[in-house]
Every structure is written in C-alpha cells, then in structure tokens.
Amino acid sequence: MQELSTRKLWSIGGGKGGVGKSVFTLGLGICLARLGKKVILVDADLGGANLHTLMGVRYPPLTLEDFLLKRVGRLEDLIIETQIAGIGLICGADDILGAANPTYAQKVRLLNQIEDLPADLVLLDLGAGTSFNVLDFFNYSPGKICVLTSQATSLQNVYGFIKSGLYRQISREFAKHPRVLDLLQQTDLKDSPEQVRSMHDVLLKLKQTEPESHQRLVDLLRQFKVNLVVNMVKSDRDFQAGAIVERVCTSFLSISPRILGRLSFDPAVEAAVNQMMPFPLRQEKGQAVKDLEQIAESVARASLPGSSLPPEEAAQTGEPRPVGTMARLWRRAPA
C-alpha cells in the first residue's frame, strides 16, 4: 500500500453549493487530528469563505487575502491555532474584488507554499461551481474528494465538476495536440462528425492514429483519482448516488472514482453550525461523527486508488461500453 504521506494535500470540492463540503472538511480534519495527525485546514472558497465561522472564529485576524495581496509573505504566517488540538486554520478571503480571482502568478505562489505547510495533512475546502480557480486547486491536489448528496441536481453537478476538472487537465497536458483537443471537443457535440461520444471513443480514435498520445491519455486518466463522499444520507437508497456517479464516470470519462464513504444526515450538524461549534466536538456522538471517523481512518491509513481505466482491452477493441446513455443512468437516481 502506498503511504499517505505522499498525499499530503487534499481538496474537497463537488460543484454544488450547500452539499456539505465545508462541514465535511472540518469534520474530517477533526477526526484526523484525533488520530494524531497534524492538520491544516485551508478555506480556499475565495469570495465565499465561511470555514472560520464553522470553527467559532468570528473575526479572522488574517486571511488568504493578506497573502494574495502580499501584505503577508509566508502562507505559514496566516495559520491560526484553533480550539482543537492538532488543527490549524488558514481563513479564506472575503473581499471579492481583492481575492476571488487571483492571477496565475498569485495562484502559483499560493500552491507552492501550500505544499510546504507544516502539517501531515492539508485539507482545502473549495468553493462551489466549476470556475477555473476551483478546478485548478482540485487538479493540483493529489488527494481529490467530491462531496455530493442524493439530489439529482447534486449528481449532475458533481459529474459536471469531475468532467470539467478532467477536461481542463487534459486540455493543459495536450495543449499542443490539436487532434486530442478536437476529439475531446467532439464528445460535447450533439452531432459529432466522427461519432465521438465518450472518452472511450476518444481513446479508440487515438489508438488508431496517435498511439503515443493514446498512451499518455491512458496514463493521465489512470492518475486522475477522485474519491466520492455521499452526504446527508438517510437511507441506503440515498447512498446509491455514489454508485451512480461512479458508473457515469466510468462510462463517459473512462475513470472510476472510488466511493470513500457516507456521511449520514444528522440534525446535530445543523444545530452545531448555528452554534458556531464544530459538530464532532459535541458530547453526544451521532451517526455522522461515526461515519467521519471511518472516512478519516481510510484517509489516514490507506492509499486511495481512486481511479483506473476500464480494462484497456475494452478501450482498444471497441467492445460495447458497460452501460447505456447518460439519461438512463440519471433516471435511476433516487427520487
């Protein structure tokens, strides 16, 4: 098994707002700290920062804005100690004009220093949506977690988020390969001139004409490892949302996200948010905390093989794809 120390940086995204990305990031951080890990939480929701509020910090003394605008030189100097031993917090920027759209240079400076933060694990709480900033943080992190709920809109958004991240990564890697970019674009066309509808088809075409690019794309897809956490689960049926997203990703993107776990719906979570008190700190240990502890153990101990291609032979020989149209899969989504 691969040691987790190689996966220090984790991003928590998911595309949709309000699905529990911040609650999960905080809960995971607390459970990891209880396992003896030194954790730093970074509120990377530029423009919509609220992780500090969930931790009971009313007025952050310093935020990412201070770093982005170079009022503070070292990211490390932004860390504030929290009420929880083992957890440091870097607060997000609230100033939309100043920090919500960092330049490329600002982003590189930030990401370089994030890697060097003094911690065993650094968790980045991402904002909603699929803006390039959010996708770049996600793609840069070796550990990728997407939070979703069983709502159809969340399923759609999380798939859109994963796809946007993957396509951005491929577009960057193959910026000088017009054939790859063209095939990729065709997957989004209603009437693709070459009948290219999925990554599987892209691979098939490339295999015939550009074996080198084919191999590089195979490797990229293999390395794009996404972990799914289904939140606000009230029944096993809700939890199936993870399997649906997994299947759609396998069918259309030729990646296989791993289902990392679930977080049960727990009224104590909302109560804790309103009290500005992290919910795992409450005396009574509800199901959501038990779920988080399980996930934290996986994150802390195991390597997380999040994605792999379907058997390569299938991609090469053009065997039928394992599942049908996207519409059919969405219809299977729990009501």
Ligand X SMILES: Nc1ncnc2c1ncn2[C@@H]1O[C@H](COP(=O)(O)OP(=O)(O)OP(=O)(O)O)[C@@H](O)[C@H]1O
Which positions touch Mg ion (CB under 5 A)?
A: 21-22
Structural contact between residues 162 and 227, judged by C-beta atoms closer than 8 angstroms: no
Q: 8, 11, 13, 23: which one contacts ligand X (CB under 6 A)? A: 23
Q: 137, 159, 167, 265: which one contacts ligand X (CB under 6 A)? A: 265
**Distance of alpha carbon 315 from alpha carbon 93, whole angstroms:** 44
Task: Verify binding: residue 128, ligand X, rule CB under 6 A.
Answer: yes
Task: Verify binding: residue 270, ligand X, rule CB under 6 A.
Answer: yes
Query: What character string, x for contact with ligand X (CB under 6 A) and - otherwise, covers 44-63?
Result: -x--x---------------
Q: Residues touching ligand X: how many (CB under 6 A)?
A: 20
Residue 27 identity (one-letter amino acid)? G
Task: Verify binding: residue 22, ligand X, rule CB under 6 A.
Answer: yes
**Distance of alpha carbon 66 from alpha carbon 79, whole angstroms:** 12
Listed in sequence order, the residues at least 6 apart from 285 whose beta carbon sits closer than 8 Å to its beta carbon are none
Degrees (nearest 5) of the Cα angle 207, 225, 296?
Answer: 165
Listed in sequence order, the residues at least 6 apart from 238 whose beta carbon sits closer than 8 Å to its beta carbon are 149, 150, 230, 232, 334
Task: Verify binding: residue 196, ligand X, rule CB under 6 A.
Answer: no
Stretch that binds ligand X, among 131-139, 157-165, 260-268, 311-319 (CB under 6 A): 260-268
Task: Verify binding: residue 231, ligand X, rule CB under 6 A.
Answer: yes
Q: What minimum distance in Å lies between the beta carbon of 77 and ligand X?
A: 25
Residues numbered 2 to 21 that lie near ligand X (CB under 6 A) are: 17-21
Instruction: State the residues that interact with ligand X by CB under 6 A.
Output: 17-23, 45, 48, 127-128, 231-232, 263, 265-266, 269-270, 273, 288
